[in-house]
Amino acid sequence: MVVLNRIYTRTGDDGTTALGSGERRPKCDLRVTAYGTVDETNAAIGVARLHVKEHGELDAMLGRIQNDLFDLGADLAVPQREGKAERLRVLSSQVERLEHEIDALNADLMPLTSFVLPGGTSGAAHLHLARTVCRRAERIMVELAAKPDEPVGDAAIQYINRLSDFLFVASRTANANGAGDVLWVPGQNR
C-alpha cells in the first residue's frame, strides 16, 4: 500500500526526481519522460471515461486499463537490473487480457472501409486523443529501451502497443459500433 502524507517534499526543486529505486535523475530524463507520458495517457483515459459511462463494459475495461497504467508507470520507474530484487512489472497476462478485450469489442464493429478521422461522439474523440498520447508514450518507451543500460520489459512495450489498438477499437465502439465513425475521404478538398 502507498501512503502519501505529504504532497510536496522540495526534493525536486533542483530539477531532479527520484526513480522508484531511489536513484535521482533530471526531470527531463527519458525514463522520467516515459512514465510521465504513460501518466498523461492515463489522465486522457480518465477524461474519456466521463464521456462513455453509457457503455458500461467499455467503461469497466478502461478502469482496468487505468490501474494497469499505474503498474506500467511503476515498472518504468524502477529499471530492471541483474541481481536486484524484482519489483512490480507489467506481465504478459495483462497484454493477453487487453488482446481479448480488443477482440470482444471488435466483434461487434462494422467493417472499416476507410481510415477513421478522430471524431464522432465526444467519447470517441476523447478516446482518439488518448490513443495519440499512448502512441507518443510507446515511441518514448521504445527509444528508452534502445539506450544502453536502460532496460524496458518486453511485456511493457507490448502492453502500450496493444493499448493504442484498444483505444482505436474503443473509439469505434463509442461511435455506435462504427456507424458514427467519421471516415477519411482521400483528396476530398482538392
pLDDT along the chain (190 residues), means of 10: 72 81 88 97 98 95 98 92 74 97 96 94 98 98 96 96 98 96 94
Task: Please give the pLDDT value at position 173.
Answer: 97
Task: Please give the pLDDT value at position 83.
Answer: 56
114 within some domain: yes
Task: Please give the pLDDT value at position 84.
Answer: 64
Q: What angle, rounded to 10 degrees, do the helices at 154-174 and 92-106 form?
A: 20
146 within some domain: yes
155 within some domain: yes
pTM of the model: 0.93
74 within some domain: yes
115 within some domain: yes
Q: How many domains does the chain have?
A: 1
48 within some domain: yes
Q: What is the CATH number of the domain that holds 33?
A: 1.20.1200.10
| CB burial string 101-129: b at 16+ within 10 A, e below | bbeebbeebeeeeeebeeebbebbbbbbb
Nearest residue to 97 via CA among 153, 162, 171: 162
Residue 158 structural domain: 24-79+88-177
Task: Please give the pLDDT value at position 7.
Answer: 76
63 within some domain: yes
Contact 132/52 with Cβ under 8 angstroms?
no
17 within some domain: no
Q: Which long-range contacts (CB under 8 A, 24 or more apart) does 78-85 make?
A: 78/19, 78/20, 78/21, 79/19, 79/21, 79/31, 79/150, 79/151, 80/151, 80/153, 81/21, 81/151, 84/21
Stated as kind and residue range, the H or E segment containing 39 is: helix 30-50
Task: Please give the pLDDT value at position 22.
Answer: 81
